[in-house]
Amino acid sequence: MSKQRPSGNSREIHAVSLNKYALFFEKTKNIPGIKIVPSKPASDNDLLLAHSKQWLRRLKLNDLTKMEEEQLSIPNSKLLISRSWKFAGASIAAALNSLECGLGISAIGGGHHAKFNTGEGFCPVNDIAIAIKKIRKENKIKKVLIVDLDAHQGNGTAEIFHNDKNIFTYSAHQQFGYPEKRERSSLDIEFPPNIEDEQYLEVIQETLPEIFKKSNFDMAFYIAGADIYAHDLLGDMKVSMAGIQKRDAFVFKILKDLKIPIVLAFAGGYAKNIDDTAKIYFNTVKEALKSFPLFNKKIHF
């Protein structure tokens, strides 16, 4: 999302950035056995696990106020809003896949700004919250950890799970800019502008392992935002591509040690050169494969 309030400019950047998925899928052809799996749309009842009836109705009718459209910051909202059910479907499928083989990947997932009653910041629905609530309901998992390393606070996820003691939300993000109004995660880490590899990695390596001592989690979601990248147009951080790869290697290694199902979602990524974002996502998958050799290589989108 934007450094400040969503602007016309950030809408354009987001629209152009959507080409990253095709570039990413092209790169995955270099990994033998990778399967790109189109997801079934989630049901209305699935969306209602994390969102209000009113919000669902308005999404269906595409009946958003000007302000809501502005908050969502999606220019061609009619097209993207209608895909909300698919975003959620991909993350549910990835979560189910993780129960089978230890890891699931939702390429289009990571709508961490969407709240119970509204969408914002390019996120009409919170596919992470929907998937967690659905899996928890059907598979009797109880405690879930969300590791959100997108450049922007996972404010929607924090709001939805605010009163839920069984969900731990860890969000490490830039200190200033979007979202202007922050919610309280279980643990928020804030980075000053222009943070570089060494300092960034040091903080993640110090704070993240501490979380695991707090609880026995049954499942973890990793929101591996690519917008912490130095050349990202909507992020305010200066982490190199190699630094992001080190971040992912570290996170996957410690998540693997938990021996619980892990769900990966890509979330933000708006690099000036769109191919850079695709490359960062690709590197994330490569790191995941190193830690999860039993992964069945299905990528849901």
List residues near Zn ion by CB under 5 A: 150-152, 227, 268
Q: Which helix (H) or strand (E) holds 277?
A: helix 274-291
Produce one character per residue of 193-207: b if its CB has 16 or more CB atoms within 10 Å, e if not: eebebeebbeebeee
Query: Per the structure block, which two tokens stand in for 106?
Result: 């939702």
**Spatial separation of the C-alpha atoms in residues 138 and 67, rounded to whole Å:** 36
Report the residue number, 46 or 120, with the smaller CB distance to Zn ion: 120
CA distance to 19, 43, 81, 188, 273, per residue, from 148 (Å) = 23, 25, 23, 10, 24
Pairing of strands 298-300, 103-106: parallel
For the CB of residue 225, give the shortest distance to Zn ion in the complex, in Å: 5
**Spatial separation of the C-alpha atoms in residues 178 and 194, rounded to whole Å:** 15
Report the residue number, 183 or 227, with the smaller CB distance to Zn ion: 227
For the CB of residue 1, give the shortest distance to Zn ion in the complex, in Å: 5
Which of helix, strand or coil describes residue 37? strand
For the CB of residue 257, give the shortest distance to Zn ion in the complex, in Å: 27
Report the residue number, 49 or 233, with the smaller CB distance to Zn ion: 233
Q: Length of the chain in residues, anyone?
A: 301
For the CB of residue 58, give the shortest distance to Zn ion in the complex, in Å: 24
- Minimal CA–CA distance to 128: which of 143, 141, 115? 115
Report the residue number, 178 or 295, with the smaller CB distance to Zn ion: 178
Query: Per the structure block, which two tokens stand in for 167?
Result: 């969900």
For the CB of residue 276, give the shortest distance to Zn ion in the complex, in Å: 15
Contact assessment for residue 95 and residue 135, using Cβ atoms and an 8 Å cutoff: yes
For the CB of residue 35, give the shortest distance to Zn ion in the complex, in Å: 27
Report the residue number, 111 or 268, with the smaller CB distance to Zn ion: 268
Which of helix, strand or coil describes residue 142? coil
Report the residue number, 86 or 152, with the smaller CB distance to Zn ion: 152
